[in-house]
Amino acid sequence: MDDVTLSPESFARLIDMTSDKVIGGNSAKVIFNEMLRSGGDPEQIVKEKGLAQVSDQGFIQEAVMKVLNDNPSEVEKYLAGKETLLQWFMGQVARATKGKADPNVARGLLVKALEERRK
């Protein structure tokens, strides 16, 4: 334990950043490991590694539309009742945004876009 360079204050800031949705859970793990390794500041690590979560609807909408346009057969299966594909679409949006998309925003935009295609 003497070798741990993580301060309680830095750890608390990391928790706050996660709670405030500045970063997602996966990013928090990366930041935590970096903090353990180097004792770095969580905010600085987020900036250096570009790990901030994005809630910008325009950015996420662009990824959603690309995923849906690139996967028409999955869209048809979803619209035919295979609603478990929503999770697959979520994964594709996460991949397209390199995990930066706020999952709640992404889910809402995905559902809306899929429902619009149902009409």
25: closest CA among 102, 82, 95, 89? 102
pLDDT the model gives residue 99? 86
Q: pLDDT (tens digit, 9 = 90+) per residue, 79-100?
A: 999 999 999 999 999 999 988 8
Q: Which helix (H) or strand (E) holds 69?
A: helix 57-70
Beta-bridge mates of residue 101? 54
- The dihedral of CA 43, 54, 17, 88: what is its sign? negative
Confidence of residue 4 (pLDDT cuts 50, 70, 90): low
Confidence of residue 6 (pLDDT cuts 50, 70, 90): confident
Q: pLDDT (tens digit, 9 = 90+) per residue, 18-71?
A: 999 899 888 899 999 999 888 889 999 999 988 898 889 999 999 999 999 999
